[in-house]
Structure 1
Amino acid sequence: MRLLFEVSGVVRAPLEHVRERMFTDAGESGSHRLVDRERGVIAYWGDWWYRGEDSLHPHLDGALLVHRVYNISRQGNWAPYLANKLFLGYRARLEQGLRERIAQLES
């Protein structure tokens, strides 16, 4: 498993409040999803290369939300770069998505 991207931001709300909101619609662990309420982690992955992971951590101003994207391909681990156009603009989209998620969790 190779880390490709990591973005993070502070949710300005109590950690337990954020954890409750984050896990409200998370469902349960399954064949392509890990839901670990105790550790504050939700991970989801596909059959080929993608694994996304959200985790919550204590922060002085509330809760730190970290989103990581991993390449989990076992063979041809270079192929996701081609399939995703070298990930051009990918980080910007992740950061925008994280800002939107933080705003949602703070409301």
Structure 2
Amino acid sequence: MTSAGTLLCEVRGVVEAPVERVAGLLLRVRPGPVGRDNCFPFADHGGTLTGGPDRFVLAAPGHAMTVEVGRDLLAAQGGWWYRGEYRLAPDPAGTLLVHQVRNVAESLRWGVPLVNGFFRGLGPRTRDGFAVLLDRVGAELGCRVSLLDGR
């Protein structure tokens, strides 16, 4: 799966565990309730997944999203413009985890920044949320994690 849309922000972190172990946690997605053992990055959102095996609909309180899962990717797309992607890659210390937020609006793309206040605070909010997820991954896998400088 290739990335779509315009990149708005990116954050990176390292999980000191093999890619296969991290993938087993983050890329485990199946129909049913979202939780620690299913669609881990969205466990706090709640909701239920339907579909599969590589494309799902996540019906959560107040919204729905499309969730895609691949060999090294978990992506969630919802609303008019939002797409969040998590990618895994080997790193000398274990696994590099990259989170990107993209604008995938197909129409009125120019209006997305206006509606979102020119994305004031998007980078820091994304970084803070990613840091929380990274800590959860480290706790779940019993390993160290480190947040890297964002782009």
In the superposition, the TM-score normalised over structure 2's length comes to 0.64
Counterpart for residue 103 of structure 1: 135
Corresponding position: 1:34 with 2:60: no
Q: CA offset at residue 91 of structure 1?
A: 0.4
In the alignment of these two chains, the number of paired residues is 105
**C-alpha offsets along residues 7-29 of structure 1, whole Å, 9 cap, x if unaligned?**
11111222222111113412642
Distance 2:17 2:129 in 1: 18
| Structure 1 consecutive aligned stretches of length 4 or more whose deviation exceeds 4 Å | none
Deviations 1:24-76 (A, max 9, x none): 4126422512111xx22111112411111111110011111111111111221
Structure of higher RCO (CA pairs closer than 8 Å, 6+ residues apart):
1
Matched, 1:22 2:26: yes
Counterparts of 1:25-104 in structure 2, within 5 Å, are 25-26=38-39, 28=52, 29-30=55-56, 32-36=66-70, 39-104=71-136
In 2, Cα distance between equivalents of 1:89 and 1:12? 29
Q: Write 1 or 2 for the structure with the bigger share of helix.
A: 1
Unaligned runs of 5+ in 1: none
Scaled by the length of structure 1, what TM-score is found? 0.87
The gaps in structure 2 that reach 5 residues or longer are 29-37, 40-48, 58-65, 140-151
Task: Name the residue aligned to 2:63.
Answer: none
Quick one: which of 12, 17, 30 aligns to 1:13?
A: 17
Q: CA RMSD in A?
A: 1.6
Percent identical: 35
Q: Is the contact made by 1:18 and 1:106 (CA closer than 8 Å) also made in structure 2?
A: no
Task: Judge conservation of contact 1:7–1:66 (CA < 8 Å) in 2.
Answer: yes
Secondary structure, counterpart of 1:97 in structure 2: helix
Instruction: Please tell me whether the aligned partners of residues 72 and 89 of structure 2 are also in contact (alpha carbons under 8 angstroms).
Output: yes
Amino acid at match of 1:52: G
